[in-house]
Structure 1
Amino acid sequence: MDELLGGHLRMLREAAATGRLPGRAELDDCRAAGALAAERGASVRALVEAALAMAESVSPTPLPALRRTVSALMEGYENAQRSALRQEEAARREFVDDLLEGRADRLAERAEHFGLRLAETYVVAVARPAAGAAGAAGVAGAGVATAAPAAAPGDGGLAGEAEGTARRIEDALVARFGSHNVLVAVRDGMLVCVAPGSLAVANGEFTHHVRQAFAPGWRVGLGRAHRGPGGVVTSYREGANAIELGDRLGLRAPVLKAADLLVFPVLLRDRAAIEDLVTSVLSPLLEARGGPEPLLATLEAVFASQGNQTAAARRLGVSTRAVTYRLERIRRLTGFSPDDSTQRFTLETAVLGARLLDWPAHPLH
């Protein structure tokens, strides 16, 4: 510390002898010394105590000069600390971008710096605030993810205050599970949590903190466990896709598991077949008075209630008689009835396909 504060001591001795206060160049030297102390890992307390101890050797102690030099030392120290934090945040954002996009430039080496061992199996949880609603902990203006997250260098509405939300959630998870087990970051308008597949409880804890941080309407999508850097990318996309599918299908659950939704990507994989099914089975509903939407909603409610028409009526907020009438109308128009097991499966698959394809809002070709 003595070699860092040599200039500080000379300034104090000169001020004691001449009464002249340190000038701009001399104070810049003090700021540089403070920054160097921070880079070497010295504490600010040790820096100030060393500066005050040197001042005791100068008689009489020039208090105005001492105040200026100590202030400059602390300013340089704090500036260096802020710069280091900014660099760390920039490196973190770059690492998260590279990890979730599958760019492999020294990925394993960089992952160790952030506490991840990429040879392990990981699960990615993706949390999205309510669409069009402000979060409860500084996540106002957050964007909505798409089914296949696009590469984007920034995070738009979730920058700034939401970075603080991500840090608070990560601090809570690290306090419980350790720094080598979780990574929380802001990505594509969502919070992303990467945790080992063997630590399933971490996903539940992450969801708990999301519930506290976001306004009602939030959603969490859980990818499946996959191994290696490519597995992290896959799990991330599965989590984001689960949220997108939940929106398309009108699912009510706030937490959606990709493992529970595997049938839907299968349906979409053969788009021509699902379009043909929707058109063949449901297009007659376009002739219904009031349009097809009330009839589609009735089918969804009946399927969600395992065929219980009374429960379906409660879901819809209509009478049981209205549900019975609508189901009969569907049978007459389409020739399919949910009372028949084979026809029920065809109808349910067609309704799911319609929701996935946003039919009839988007006509099929």
Structure 2
Amino acid sequence: MPIELLGDYLRLLADAATSGRKPDAAELNAVDLLGRRAAELGVSAGSAVQLYLSAARRLWQQLPAVVRSRDSEVVRAAAAAVLHVVDEAVARLAEGYNDARRQMVRWEETLRRDFVEDLLRGDADVGRLVERAEPFGLDMARPHQVALAAPSGRLNETEAAISSLERAVVRWAGDRDVLVATKDGWIVVLTPADTDVPGPRTGAKTLGDLMLAELARLPRGRPWRVTVGRPYPGSYGIARSYEEAREGLTMAVRLRLDSSLVQAEQLLIYRVLLRDQPAIADLVQSVLGELVHARGGAEPLLETLDAYFVTGGVATTAARRLHLSVRAVTYRLDRIKTLTGYDAADPAQRFTVHTAVLGAKLLGWPHRDLAVDR
């Protein structure tokens, strides 16, 4: 324990015992600074307070006013004065310590937030990024994967979610090389992808399964949706995995996927569709464009096509999914055939229509003008 943390504290105790003098504002401010210094040195608050209490006890046993005096009134007065100094000094020590810790936490949060931003953006200086990763325990040479968790609404108490999730991921992976943070209202989890070692991994089979199980225990944010990017090596690989996870969340919303867990591999076909947006926009417009002239607009007919394809082309099942009668579904399918010239039930035309429906969902049509994509 650094003895310099006592400063002039022993002198203040001695003055109080011999003359009853109370510390002035400047002397208490000095103790406040010593509390800040203790926090900067990494001394625990309990240890700092114990140092002050132990010093007071030892000094009391050696004070001449106490050792030599047989007058109980003198002893009581000295004790009261010393206890007053101890009380004020320890309070100011703790106050300075806590202020310093709050500032350090805010600074660490800023560093963490900036680091995460640069890490996920992927365009920062690699050498500098590797240096900044060391305090967070990240080995940039290892392959990592990124997972994102999106709450159903606004999540205010993020600290509880982050702490709980970080502990769970560390236990599951058996590795400290884990980073959990927030970005754009989502929880970001970065974990190494080369931890396939015997022993620690029990329970959840994948990172996504683990995250869903842990987040389901939280009182807020449910239901959650989790997307997981594929693992890649290096700092650029982290940014690439994050981009896959981010695209996964966007696509899951646009496609109205029922699954709470989406793996990047599941969305590869949709990424292929979006790779040439002018072409897919042209396909949507050419195949489905006439649906906008239907009574009620294109959206009800588009939803019917989507439900029809999702249920394997079974009108009865699609009707239950849409909460419609079978007759209403078959009427809509006939109406689509009349307007577009494409028959969703025809095996030769089904692929074209289905691809156009997927493209429409990915591009946000009919709410979005496809002219900007062509």
What interval of TM-score do these two structures reach, taking the shorter chain for normalisation?
0.7 to 0.9
**Contact 1:195-1:203 within 8 A present in 2 as well:** no
Shift of 1:307: 1.2
User: Mean Cα displacement is larger for which, 48-57 or 208-217?
Assistant: 208-217
Alignment of 1:306-321 (within 5 A): 306-321=312-327
Q: CA–CA distance in 1 between the matches of 2:91 and 2:174? A: 37
| Matching residue of 1:88 | 108
Q: CA–CA distance in 2 between the matches of 1:252 and 1:176? A: 26
Instruction: Provide the alpha-carbon RMSD of the alignment.
Output: 2.1
Considering fraction of residues, name the structure with more helix.
Answer: 2
Alignment of 1:80-229 (within 5 A): 80-102=100-122, 103-104=124-125, 106-130=128-152, 133-134=153-154, 139-140=155-156, 161-178=157-174, 180-198=176-194, 201-213=206-218, 214-229=220-235
Sequence identity of aligned pairs in percent?
44
User: Mean Cα displacement is larger for which, 222-231 or 319-328?
Assistant: 319-328
CA 1:45–1:276: 2 relative to 1, 3 Å: closer
TM-score (normalizing by structure 1): 0.86
Corresponding residue pairs, total: 339
Q: CA–CA distance in 1 between the matches of 2:13 and 2:42? A: 25
Shift of 1:96: 0.7
**Contact 1:336-1:343 within 8 A present in 2 as well:** yes
TM-score (normalizing by structure 2): 0.84
CA 1:294–1:34: 2 relative to 1, 3 Å: closer
Q: CA–CA distance in 2 between the matches of 1:305 and 1:333? A: 23
Q: CA–CA distance in 2 between the matches of 1:276 and 1:6? A: 77
- Larger CA Rg, structure 1 vs 2: 2
Give secondary structure in 2 for the equivalent of 1:3: helix
Shift of 1:202: 3.0
Alignment of 1:2-41 (within 5 A): 2-41=3-42
**Contact 2:7-2:34 within 8 A present in 1 as well:** no
Q: CA–CA distance in 1 between the matches of 2:231 and 2:83? A: 63
Give secondary structure in 2 for the equivalent of 1:224: coil
**Contact 2:7-2:31 within 8 A present in 1 as well:** no
Q: CA–CA distance in 2 between the matches of 1:75 and 1:217? A: 41
How big is each residue's C-alpha offset from its partner over 1:252-277, in whole Å with a ceiling of 9 and x where there is no partner? 22222221111222222222221221
Give secondary structure in 1 for the equivalent of 2:42: coil
Q: CA–CA distance in 1 between the matches of 2:250 and 2:329? A: 29
Instruction: List alignment gaps of at least 5 residues for structure 1.
Output: 141-160
Q: CA–CA distance in 1 between the matches of 2:370 and 2:193? A: 40
1:245 to 233, 236, 251: 251
Instruction: Please identify runs of 4+ aligned residues in structure 1 that moved more than 4 A.
Output: none
Letter in 2 for 1:313: A
How big is each residue's C-alpha offset from its partner over 1:196-246, in whole Å with a ceiling of 9 and x where there is no partner? 223563332122223333444532221111111111111111111111112
CA 1:170–1:361: 2 relative to 1, 3 Å: same
Q: CA–CA distance in 2 between the matches of 1:74 and 1:287? A: 72
**Contact 1:298-1:326 within 8 A present in 2 as well:** yes
Letter in 2 for 1:83: Q
Shift of 1:351: 0.9
**Contact 2:142-2:194 within 8 A present in 1 as well:** no
**Contact 1:163-1:186 within 8 A present in 2 as well:** no
Instruction: Confirm whether residue 258 of structure 1 aligns to residue 268 of structure 2.
Output: no
Q: CA–CA distance in 2 between the matches of 1:334 and 1:6? A: 86
Give secondary structure in 1 for the equivalent of 2:366: coil
CA 1:289–1:2: 2 relative to 1, 3 Å: closer
Q: CA–CA distance in 2 between the matches of 1:169 and 1:268? A: 33
